[in-house]
Structure 1
Amino acid sequence: MDSTSITTVTTSSSTSSSSSSSSQPRQLDSPRPMTPASPAVEATTAFDQPVKLKSRHRLLQGLQRMSSSPSLAKLGRSRSSEKVYKSGQKASISCVSLGSPISSYSLSPPNSYTSQLSNGFSTAPTTPGSPCSQQSYFESNPRLRPLDPNEITTAPVPIDLRTPKLTSIPLPEISEKPFPRRPDFNFWKDLPHEVRIHVLSFLSPKEIIKVSAVSKEWHDMCFDGQLWTSLDCQGYYQQITSEALVKIMLKAGAFVKNLNLRGCVQLRDQWLSLGTRMTNQECRNLESFSIEGCKIERSSIHFFLLRNPRLIHINMPSMQNINNATMKIIASHCPELELLNIDWCSQIDTKGLKKVIQSCPNLTDLRASEVRGLDDNDFMLELFQRNNLERLILQHCDSLTDEALEIMVHGSDPDRDVLTDHPIVPPRRLRHLDISRCRSLTDRGVKALAHNVPLLEGFRICQNTALTDDALEDLLQTTNRLTHLEVEEVELLTNATLINLSKSKAAKTLEHLSISYCEQMGDVGVLPLLKACPEIKSLCLDNTRISDLVLIEASEQVRKRGSTTKKSQLPKKGLELVAFDCANVTWAGVREILQGNGRVMQGRKKSVMQKTNRVGEDGEREEVRKVVEIQTLLYPTQIIHLKAFYGWQQTVEEHYKRCITGRWGAADRLEAKWAEWMVASEEVGVAAQGWSTRRRRRRARDAENRVRDDEDGAAPDTATGDEDGSGMEYSAGRGPRGGRRRARSGGCMVM
């Protein structure tokens, strides 16, 4: 045999076809003589025409060469003795695979050394010393070792043509690396600081101070400035200590924007030390500053005002230690001011306020009750020229005169219309004006507001005893947006003002009206007002001349605002009615309010088709249709909250609670029992009053008869019987016969 070399060929992949060309060994350049022991070679070397092989030769043709593996030995195959490999060859076949090539039509199941599982190589374990013993099972390209010609054995290799026995060969267990254990996770500690602060922001300030005692770390978190951007102590000023307040202001002062210390009198001795302990970065970003009810020195107030140029709201009413110097600091250091409340600060006058008006162009809300010097025409002219105020509170300012109010509205010597004689000036931006208890005002000053405050929504002129109906006649006709009107204790106002209001456009928007202690107002003015004001929500009528007719009309108007067929929809308060201390209001009118609140009315009948199934005479189910009329019920959507005579108020409140919670049956029973009790009480009172009257009348007649008998000495003979209805009989010449008789009254109807 000539010298030839045959290279080793690995097994094909699971996706390769079983064609004969892919399974043949590659021929070399030099011709290789065939031997009888290799019939497959003879069949494949014919280059002229392919020869159709028989079954045995076809099987031998599919033999594939693979790398050395002892798997053949484990299958019980003997060494080949039919073919002898001689020394001197370049290469030889290390082992031969007896498995047929895998094809798409193969019915035999794949074994452990097929290409699907081995990635082109045998997955069976190698023996020590074999070429692949040092390779890992997961290496993709193992290195092939060519055989040395001296190592080739001369023993023939037997070919077993029997079908190999398919046995399941278990794969070796591969040791996996253990999954690394997750370290202990502290949920709160491992959270980002921003997330923890956001969680604490849902707590109330009182709860934050409590949880700060958990640990040192929690203490630092609870006093973080991000939690104290708004420090409003109004709801818990009695429970928080001065030390906690000082600590918050020192640690979170740079973040605080809203500082409300209303009622914190415990800081009385801490203000001076607080100012010395603050650094340059603390409490310098305030936008709202409120110290109402605090005991604070003037120097401490000035300290806060000087350090906060971004202040927008300043609220310090009833502070008797601030003066015009404080106003000067505000004017020079708070140019963005929008609200200033200095009510009842008697040490401030218009000289200090004038500087604030000139230096703060954004000022829209000025509350300066009991401020002195409002008769200064220069200050009022400054208000007219600025014209930026939307709310002006001037209660109890005796210095406010008609001339000053005219200058504030019209200016100094304005041009007037030739036809109407009205001043031609820009309209004022006032929305809320309070000039209550300004005793120097008369009708002239209030008339100046007419035609010049078209945006007015709230107006209070309480306790101005000099005002009459003429003061409000033109004003009510020119304020189409009026929602709140209070004229308490203006005794000279009559029903003409209410009738004028009901005819104006303001009646459509009016929500609150207070005419308490206006003793000249009664049903004549209130009844048309109730019919003309569909949006009225609050009506104060105490100490007036109204009667039960007003209560009946109020109940009817609220009932017209709507009803619902849904019982689960609870009503809401539609009208707050104050009617105590009214001499003409009786329990009958109060009963009308209770009946109107709890009245469930019957609506229209609806025809509904009902379907029922029944078993007929033949045993089959039949569907029966019937038209049924259903009566719907209408429940009120709004009710009245009444404040009446204190002896009835407890029953009225209980009835209101039952109606507002939808317990209509319980409310109706309470109203019926209360009405029965009131009727019985009145009857008992009338009966008692009648007995005492008859007793006094009888005693007077007896005394008169005795005096007559003494004077005349005898009575007429015809005087018989009970002529006067007193139950006594008289005889001729004598006094009453038979003594006292029992009164024949019906007695108590209740008993």
Structure 2
Amino acid sequence: MMKPDKQDLIMEGNETERGSTVKEDKTLPHKYANKSCDVSSLTIQSLNTSNCDTSPEKRILPQGSVDDRLNPNKLCRYSYMDCTSRSKRLPPGDIPNERDIVQEPSCRGFPFLERTDDEAHGDKTKSRPNQSVVNDSLSSKSNVENKNITDEVLFINNLPRSLLVHIFSMLKMRDILNHAACVCKLWYSISKDPDLWRSIRLEDSHEYLRITDCILDRVTSLSNNISSILLSDCSLVTDSGLSSVLTKCSNLRILHLLQCSRLTDMSYTSIADHCHRLKKLNLSGSVGLTDVALQRIACSCRQLEQVKLNQCTQITDKSTQVLAIKCPNIELITFQENDQVTDASVEALSSHCKSLHSITIHKCSLSINGFFHLSKIPTLINIDISNNKNVSPHAVKYVIDHCKHIQTLNLCLCHSIDDDCIQHISIYAKEIKKLLLVGCKLTDAALFSLGKYASNLEHVDVGWCEEITDEGVISISTMCARLKYLGLMRCDKVSDRTMLQLAKQNSHIVYSTFLLDSQRLIAQATSQGFEFKLDDGD
């Protein structure tokens, strides 16, 4: 027997190593595979990583040729496309190494990723190639190359990074941190892109997610150019936590602090100290806001265009007058459920805010003089004076005569509004599109007037107007050509039979009654896979 040559031994050893490489699973677990992936833990743990080079090629790919860099399997082993549609087989001979493979993430709420049958048996195919396929490979080479090029183009990770960032921006923050960041190294890198964190939206669910000062600080540290922050029902956020965050947000344009019960004037004065470029401010439900803090905000944030102060019960005319004087560019302002907002606030707004187009004064202490001051704002487009006990038909007519561009008018729960007032609105409010009249003292005559004169009307709600009958509903449905919505909830004199016929005849109009709303809800639930079983007696 001939002694084996040294070169043969080397080749045999290489073959053995190559074979073991194919059989052995060297996939490494993802760094978050065994960790809890709720927002609070993942935010704190994942965002503490060092600021290394985020280039996907440098972080994921091994040293290789240009062709390797164009191979999508080198960029991301798995993706959302793999989860939902297909997995792509690696080209023969291109076995990924430890740096290329990311094991399936086990994050809560993320679908388990598995290889397809083709991938699972891919190693056997490679180890025993069919000889006829090898002989015919040259003739089909061009087709295979074209298919590979098409697959690479369709692979999601081949998209430009800026486009992937835009796609990620459509996701909720929780989905970005819990799910997308666990898919692969590229997606983890994109999940920390500063462009994704210029708009912060945190809503405390009081169940599985509690927003604290620590989480707020971590999230706002991802970008040095935050333009928008929304905090809703964040009862654990304190004055010190919010003040610390606002010191980093000098370019803030939009700030919403909704029902954050622990905040006091310390937080609101920090807005005045650091956020001089604010344009939109919503402090609805801020029971700790006082006149002192609001005046400081008005003096410092003079670019404000939209201000919402709903349920801010400590605010009085004193601070709203300063707000009107110091912020003349206000275009939208809302007050709700505040007895301390009176005619003086409306007078200040009418005198100084010449660009005001939307105003809400819901359940406040306005008198007849307040509505006359309101008529001095000719730029008004949207007016909400609902649930004000001093609203009279004469005051509404006066406002309509002087504000020629009104498109939305809310008179809900103004029980003195009658058919004659609605006829005046129909004739002289030429641009009216939306009219809310829930609980007013109306009959079919009001609907006749709207159908005859209000040619631009699209949305009408006359719920709880008990004198409305089938005749009035049929009239406005046939005469008002642009009507898209008609609210008739608890109009008990309107028959279900008539409404079913009108809904079938006027498919472009959404009728809101108890019966029709229930049918739409059941149809929507059925389309989503829910089943409704009737009792034996039905």
TM-score (normalizing by structure 2): 0.61
Report the equivalent of 2:392. Answer: 442
Which residue, 403, 406, 411 being the options, matches 1:461?
Answer: 411
Q: Is the 8 A contact 2:408 2:433 kept in 1?
A: yes
Offset at 1:304? 2.8
Q: Is the 8 A contact 1:223 1:248 kept in 2?
A: no
Say whether residues 1:514 and 2:485 are aligned partners: no
The residue identity in structure 2 corresponding to 1:337 is L
CA pair 216-520 structure 1, distance change in 2 beyond 3 A? closer
CA pair 298-233 structure 1, distance change in 2 beyond 3 A? same
Report the equivalent of 1:524. Answer: 471
State how far apart, in whole Å, the 2-side matches of 1:214 and 1:488 are. 50
Report the equivalent of 1:228. Answer: 197
Q: Is the 8 A contact 1:383 1:408 kept in 2?
A: yes
CA pair 553-208 structure 1, distance change in 2 beyond 3 A? closer
The residue identity in structure 2 corresponding to 1:519 is E
Report the equivalent of 2:495. Answer: 547
Of structures 1 and 2, the larger Rg is shown by: 1
Report the equivalent of 1:496. Answer: 445
Say whether residues 1:409 and 2:375 are aligned partners: yes
Tell me the alpha carbon deviations over residues 272-331 of structure 1, each in whole angstroms, 9 at most, x when there is no partner: 15535x695x11111110111223232122213320111111111011110212221221
State how far apart, in whole Å, the 2-side matches of 1:520 and 1:476 are. 19
Report the equivalent of 2:177. Answer: 209
Tell me the alpha carbon deviations over residues 6-52 of structure 1, each in whole angstroms, 9 at most, x when there is no partner: xxxxxxxxxxxxxxxxxxxxxxxxxxxxxxxxxxxxxxxxxxxxxxx
Report the equivalent of 1:746. Answer: none
Secondary structure class of the residue paired with 1:260: strand
Offset at 1:216? 11
Say whether residues 1:480 and 2:430 are aligned partners: yes
Report the equivalent of 2:237. Answer: 267
The residue identity in structure 2 corresponding to 1:321 is G
Secondary structure class of the residue paired with 1:294: coil
Q: Is the 8 A contact 2:335 2:360 kept in 1?
A: yes
Secondary structure class of the residue paired with 2:435: strand
CA pair 525-252 structure 1, distance change in 2 beyond 3 A? same
Q: Is the 8 A contact 2:407 2:431 kept in 1?
A: yes
Secondary structure class of the residue paired with 1:266: coil
State how far apart, in whole Å, the 2-side matches of 1:384 and 1:474 are. 27
Secondary structure class of the residue paired with 2:363: coil
State how far apart, in whole Å, the 2-side matches of 1:266 and 1:297 are. 13
Report the equivalent of 2:216. Answer: 245
Offset at 1:241? 4.9
Tell me the alpha carbon deviations over residues 179-218 of structure 1, each in whole angstroms, 9 at most, x when there is no partner: xx9598675899xxx9767645533433443476899999
State how far apart, in whole Å, the 2-side matches of 1:232 and 1:307 are. 20
Report the equivalent of 1:629. Answer: none
Q: Which runs of 5+ in 1 are unaligned?
A: 1-180, 411-426, 560-573, 581-589, 591-641, 644-648, 662-669, 682-751
Say whether residues 1:322 and 2:322 are aligned partners: no
Say whether residues 1:289 and 2:255 are aligned partners: yes
State how far apart, in whole Å, the 2-side matches of 1:297 and 1:657 are. 43
Offset at 1:373? 4.4
Q: Is the 8 A contact 2:503 2:511 kept in 1?
A: no
Offset at 1:227? 2.7
Report the equivalent of 1:35. Answer: none
Tell me the alpha carbon deviations over residues 148-173 of structure 1, each in whole angstroms, 9 at most, x when there is no partner: xxxxxxxxxxxxxxxxxxxxxxxxxx
The residue identity in structure 1 corresponding to 2:368 is D
CA pair 532-557 structure 1, distance change in 2 beyond 3 A? farther
Report the equivalent of 1:537. Answer: 484
Report the equivalent of 1:725. Answer: none
Secondary structure class of the residue paired with 1:475: helix
Offset at 1:219? 7.8
Aligned Cα root-mean-square deviation (Å): 3.9
Q: Is the 8 A contact 1:317 1:345 kept in 2?
A: yes
Which residue, 578, 585, 594 being the options, matches 2:512?
Answer: 578
CA pair 503-549 structure 1, distance change in 2 beyond 3 A? farther
Q: Is the 8 A contact 2:503 2:509 kept in 1?
A: no
Tell me the alpha carbon deviations over residues 226-250 of structure 1, each in whole angstroms, 9 at most, x when there is no partner: 331111224989536533332122x
- The number of residues matched between the two structures is 378
Report the equivalent of 1:6. Answer: none
Q: Is the 8 A contact 2:211 2:234 kept in 1?
A: no
The residue identity in structure 2 corresponding to 1:239 is L
CA pair 381-308 structure 1, distance change in 2 beyond 3 A? closer
CA pair 214-543 structure 1, distance change in 2 beyond 3 A? closer
Secondary structure class of the residue paired with 1:342: strand
State how far apart, in whole Å, the 1-side matches of 2:204 and 2:510 are. 27
The residue identity in structure 1 corresponding to 2:478 is K
Q: Is the 8 A contact 2:321 2:348 kept in 1?
A: no
Q: Is the 8 A contact 2:268 2:294 kept in 1?
A: no
CA pair 370-202 structure 1, distance change in 2 beyond 3 A? same
Percent same amino acid among aligned pairs?
A: 20
TM-score (normalizing by structure 1): 0.45
Secondary structure class of the residue paired with 2:374: helix
Q: Is the 8 A contact 1:531 1:557 kept in 2?
A: no
Offset at 1:535? 2.3
Report the equivalent of 1:740. Answer: none
Tell me the alpha carbon deviations over residues 339-386 of structure 1, each in whole angstroms, 9 at most, x when there is no partner: 101011111122211111112122111011123445435751541553
State how far apart, in whole Å, the 2-side matches of 1:529 and 1:401 are. 33
State how far apart, in whole Å, the 1-side matches of 2:188 and 2:500 are. 62
Tell me the alpha carbon deviations over residues 382-423 of structure 1, each in whole angstroms, 9 at most, x when there is no partner: 4155332111111111x211122113214xxxxxxxxxxxxx
State how far apart, in whole Å, the 2-side matches of 1:217 and 1:453 are. 56
Q: Is the 8 A contact 1:369 1:393 kept in 2?
A: yes
The residue identity in structure 1 corresponding to 2:367 is T
State how far apart, in whole Å, the 1-side matches of 2:501 and 2:524 are. 18
The residue identity in structure 2 corresponding to 1:293 is Q
State how far apart, in whole Å, the 1-side matches of 2:484 and 2:416 are. 29
Q: Is the 8 A contact 1:348 1:372 kept in 2?
A: no
The residue identity in structure 2 corresponding to 1:356 is L
Which residue, 228, 234, 242 being the options, matches 1:258?
Answer: 228
> Comparing 333-342 with 449-458, which one deviates more in the overlay?
449-458
The residue identity in structure 1 corresponding to 2:506 is V
Tell me the alpha carbon deviations over residues 44-95 of structure 1, each in whole angstroms, 9 at most, x when there is no partner: xxxxxxxxxxxxxxxxxxxxxxxxxxxxxxxxxxxxxxxxxxxxxxxxxxxx
CA pair 244-321 structure 1, distance change in 2 beyond 3 A? closer
Offset at 1:498? 1.6
Q: Is the 8 A contact 2:231 2:258 kept in 1?
A: yes
Within a 5 Å distance, the mapping from 1:73-152 to structure 2 comes to none
CA pair 273-486 structure 1, distance change in 2 beyond 3 A? closer
State how far apart, in whole Å, the 2-side matches of 1:462 and 1:402 are. 17
Offset at 1:547? 2.8
State how far apart, in whole Å, the 2-side matches of 1:182 and 1:541 are. 69
State how far apart, in whole Å, the 2-side matches of 1:226 and 1:302 are. 28
CA pair 654-441 structure 1, distance change in 2 beyond 3 A? closer
Q: Is the 8 A contact 1:288 1:314 kept in 2?
A: yes
